[in-house]
Structure 1
């Protein structure tokens, strides 16, 4: 197989891998919004497998680039692509790969933000239950602030 066809195959594998990862990230986003913990756990395992696969395929492409261009850098990859008969197709697919990589990164960051938001909410709820931290004054059934010097026992909440 000529280098251009091999590189095209590697990039196509990366795109397919990222598409699978993107699908998992979308499912994870919905599960986070729904607070579906069992599904989140399953999707986290699936995401980790997809990331491992993606990492392996990316390493293969990087090794291929290094073998054929004597170095692994974005410039070396562009030089290698320019020397191939499928330069236009390779450039297009590499652009798709880059765009999909950006989408996955952004969606993963958004999911991370949702997780942090849920953690803050949970910590806040625990602070209220434990009556610790800077939760502000909470009011009793009598309509006035309770003393903050109560024990930190969750069982009394």
Structure 2
């Protein structure tokens, strides 16, 4: 699945922007679900392939939100999320409000899925750090530094090969 770059239109309206946002957020959700499957399976190669696609889709969403804000401003409303409600009330388009609600719901779903994926990543990282810690040699006595205070690690000795 490739990035679905947002369509750029000289006569972009808030409604056409919403349609593009719905398309891109749906694609982003699919990538986030794939990412979660790869995290559960600990498939690093699969994750590596998904990362650029995810980043491109997140960027596309930011571009589309900016375009929607511009379209709202051009339509005489606040060029921000708050202006969307006023535009919806004034538009008279019966498909606009449900589409906006769907985009908001899909965005909430994507944020939650991304949060859960972040939790999985943290667990993998913690597990990896624990495994690395288990491989490190543990100090076998109390060692003191030049100030007479205990040190956290043992003095290191070089290894000579003969």
Q: Structure 1 length as normaliser, TM-score?
A: 0.78
Aligned partners of 1:120, 1:129: CA distance in 2, in Å? 14
How far the C-alpha of 1:83 sits from its partner, in A, is: 1.1
Aligned partners of 1:30, 1:131: CA distance in 2, in Å? 35
Structure 2 counterpart of 1:40, from 47, 62, 83: 47
Aligned partners of 1:39, 1:78: CA distance in 2, in Å? 40
How far the C-alpha of 1:43 sits from its partner, in A, is: 0.4
Structure 1 counterpart of 2:113, from 107, 117, 133: 107
Aligned partners of 1:68, 1:83: CA distance in 2, in Å? 10
How far the C-alpha of 1:70 sits from its partner, in A, is: 4.2
Structure 2 counterpart of 1:124, from 130, 146, 150: 130
For 1:1-157, list aligned pairs within 5 A. 6-86=13-93, 88-131=94-137, 147=140
How far the C-alpha of 1:89 sits from its partner, in A, is: 1.5
How far the C-alpha of 1:28 sits from its partner, in A, is: 0.3
Q: Hey, which of these two has a bigger chunk of helix by percent?
A: 1
Query: Unaligned regions of 5+ residues in structure 2, if any?
Result: 1-10, 143-153, 158-162
**Matched pairs, number:** 136
CA contact (8 A) 2:69 2:81 kept: no
Query: Unaligned regions of 5+ residues in structure 1, if any?
Result: 133-145
How far the C-alpha of 1:69 sits from its partner, in A, is: 2.6
Aligned partners of 1:47, 1:131: CA distance in 2, in Å? 39
Aligned partners of 1:59, 1:82: CA distance in 2, in Å? 21
Aligned partners of 1:107, 1:126: CA distance in 2, in Å? 29
CA contact (8 A) 1:11 1:97 kept: yes
**Aligned residues: CA RMSD:** 2.3
